[in-house]
Structure 1
């Protein structure tokens, strides 16, 4: 939890946007930038409906030109059970009004950038934590091996032979120190590497799949969709539209 709190504090320092962190059961975990008035207008039931409907925005109508909006972002890109960041309240237009003067104004065009920023802070802090964490030597070597060889065929058996460690003991250690299975970590790493190629190259999906270590395009697409809720082609199109 300290990790998530540090993410939210850094985001607030950068953007001065109120942020709530809620669990997947919609319990309030942490908040920053809120005052009593914000608490009164915070639409917890509407946020719950929004999240359950897989939405990302909630707008509250004030008059014909001005809305308050919220942005809902999954803490984890891959596991919604980790909870949600709620950014807002935010005004979509500047307004001179004593009651609303404390609500920050950001155009709706900014909302996607705010989402990316908070998730980039999560990724950056996670990477730094992983680098600084005092892992068991076997786990550190396994992670280094993936970073250097992810484009090759990697199996738990071959990795354990390389590390000279019992397979079941290694699997238990990896889960203990990272919170995930080795297969989850490997696929996650490969999907993230493939995202960069989808955004920044014209390689075919088959070429990208092979480049990051998947042995066929169909399996790559299946894994990509499992981790991101969209297939690689749709991801490539969505990122090109954002640009």
Structure 2
């Protein structure tokens, strides 16, 4: 049964796991085929390509492809790819857990996914969905009637999480991605931050995210991060008594030499010269001890 079957919206059904497996593929090319069940493919390592009748998807670690029932597809692995495959279907009836039609009514992301009716979707996971899937499989493996309720609970949670990932794909605009990157930098500038980490947090390929951010802001993600760190460093130099040798650690730059070189490049003077030039009022300076106490609250 398709995820988009109208019966799932109005009549009591419950999802069931039909088949699942871990598999490492090596230089493999599958013939086009389709399943009666809905399929989810989680890439755990390596990369692969999945072709449907209309699209070709390149998948890497942390990505999921959703294939609705009866969707023709084939898997192509050039080198190697380890993945987890899950196939589910729906049965009519009621269990102790609320039927799927109730979940559909209550969850906005699920309603959006079922309204868009995409036969296949490439999704970007931040590990939460896969962890839910692992808990689900642990319950399925127990093969006990006592686990039925937990299987229903976890499978429903898994579908809602997948719908949440799909909602991001439907609704996220380039400007929204840029805003999320900026917010991430504002919250994490005080530690080492990599573009790949930011891309994972916003569910986009690093290369594509770089292009989106550059178009939106006129600068690269790395340069935006450096500029924001320099802004914070200037505030600390002008408004606090934090030692210049300690400031790099407050802004995620653990090398004093790199901090000094970068500061001079962007501000056109040394940190010590900037402090002398801008600290006019001793009474307005925030003491480093005050900042430490605030950070401990």
TM-score, normalised on structure 2? Answer: 0.35
> TM-score, normalising length from structure 1?
0.43
